[in-house]
Each structure stands twice: as structure tokens, then as C-alpha cells.
Chain A
């Protein structure tokens, strides 16, 4: 019985220690504001791809009009 109790106590303690250490996140990058550079880059890339897709769509529409 005491062995079990000690075991449970160790488990709980381990759990507490683990949660107290906290989880490392990119808080520093966020804090320094650099994350916005990444977001802006991705936004530019995606806007580019979207415009490209719309351009392909438009070219296709023109081709389809000439056909008929």
C-alpha cells in the first residue's frame, strides 16, 4: 500500500515538475515583432499565386471564347 502511495506521489510530482517547466514557444520571435516579417512574406507569396491562378483562368476563358 505504501509503495503504491509513494509511486502515485512520485507520479504527481513528476507531472507538477513537467508543467512547471513550461513549454517553449517562439515567444521571443513574437516579442521582437519579427513574426510579422514571416507573415508578410507568406502573404506576398500567396497573393502572387492567387493572381497567377486568376491570370491562367482569364487566358483560358479567352481561348474558350475563340473556340466557339
Chain B
């Protein structure tokens, strides 16, 4: 894991996000009813979820690695990735609520996408509660790693599969086409994809910072 101490990918992430913050406002977007200029939210709301997905994915990988090797550091990677993921989750949820207020009419309209997003949020909060409930280090690491491995696919089903099987206001669900198919043009893609990569790199960066702090704390506690 040498790369977490290198800075080239951190600089790349910053440059990409910086670019999207300028191009995202200045490049033309399709003129659509209801959405108007808020379609630019796609550049900032969706990447939060991409960042969340990647750090949660990393935490699953390290939970599996922990179960295979019982190395304590892997457990620390898993927790701090989940912590970072929950932060980006909250950002995605709140930015989505604000957007919904102006396009769907309410902050929370009990839409299937919103409801299952809330359930999946609780799923990951339960991971942190579970960790705090177990005192013994190895037992805590083992049980929470297993929980984490199961939580990830359930989160994917709740966020990306179940809402698609019913009618939802959110694009990409039910009878509602995704942005990609009809509403997005190549101008938007030129901003959206760099935004994905940039925000993913930044979320991974924050997760590595948390992990490094945790490592130092862990060392101090064990002395």
C-alpha cells in the first residue's frame, strides 16, 4: 500500500474536480423542462455516490483480506473506509433531497429510491454500532468484517436494483429513463466522467488520511 503515501493521484483528483467545478457551470447543458439549470447537479450529486461506492467496495476487499490473514491493519482500513463512505453517503442523500425539493416538489417524497437509500444508510450505521458493541479486538474485527461483506451487496440491491423494479421519480428507475439515455449529451459526459474519477480519488484520499490517523492512534493505544 505504498500508493497511499504518494501524491500524484491526489493531485490528479484535485485537478479533475477543479476542472468539473469550472466546466460544470460554463459548458452548455440540454434545455429540459422542470430541471432547467439544476441538471448541473448531476456533476456534483452523482459523484458523491460514486465515491461512496468505491470506498465501501475497498472496505469489503479489506474485510475479506482481514478474514484471510487476521492482520489488524486490514480491519482498520475497512472501518475507516466505511466511515468515509458514510460521510459521502450523507452528502449524496442531502444533496439529493435539496435537488428533489426543486424538481419533485418535496425534500422527501417517500420515493422508493429515497426510502431504500435511507434503509441502506441505517445498514451502514448498524455496522458502526456493531463495532462499538464488541469489546474484544479480534472478535470485533472478525464479526464486523463478516457483517460488512454482507452489507455491501444488500446496499447495492437496495440502491440500484429494488428502485428499478418499481416506479420511482429518480432517473434510471421504473418507467423513468436514466439521464444517460435521452437527456445527456456529450458536453455533459465531458464533465461527468472526470467528475466521477476526481471525486472517487478524493474520497479514497480522505479514507487513507483517516486510516493513517487510525494507525498512529492504534500504535499509541497499544503502548
Contacts and interface: CB of A to CB of B under 8 A. Distances in A.
A28 to B, nearest CB: 11
B216 A43 contact: no
A38 B18 contact: no
Given A22-B31, A23-B33, A43-B18, A56 B25 contact: no
Contacts, number: 53
Counting contact residues on chain B (CB < 8 A from A), the size range is 20 to 34
Interface string B26-37: 100001110011
A38 B24 CA distance: 12
B212 interface: yes
B22 interface: yes
Given A56-B209, A60-B213, A38 B25 contact: yes
Contacts of B87: none
Interface residues of A, number: 23
A39 B22 contact: yes
A60 B37 CA distance: 40
Given A57-B209, A64-B212, A26 B10 contact: no
B209 A53 contact: yes
Given A26-B37, A47-B18, A50-B18, A60 B209 contact: yes
Given A22-B31, A39-B25, A56-B209, 13 more contacts: A23-B33, A23-B36, A26-B36, A35-B26, A42-B21, A42-B25, A47-B18, A50-B14, A53-B14, A53-B202, A53-B205, A60-B216, A63-B216
Instruction: Identify the 10 closest CB pairs spanning chains A and B, nearest first.
Output: A23-B31, A50-B14, A26-B37, A39-B25, A60-B212, A42-B21, A23-B33, A46-B21, A25-B31, A39-B22
Interface of A: 18, 22-26, 35, 38-39, 42-43, 46-47, 50, 53-54, 56-57, 60-61, 63-64, 67
11 contacts: A23-B31, A25-B31, A25-B36, A25-B37, A35-B26, A43-B18, A53-B10, A53-B202, A54-B10, A64-B212, A67-B216
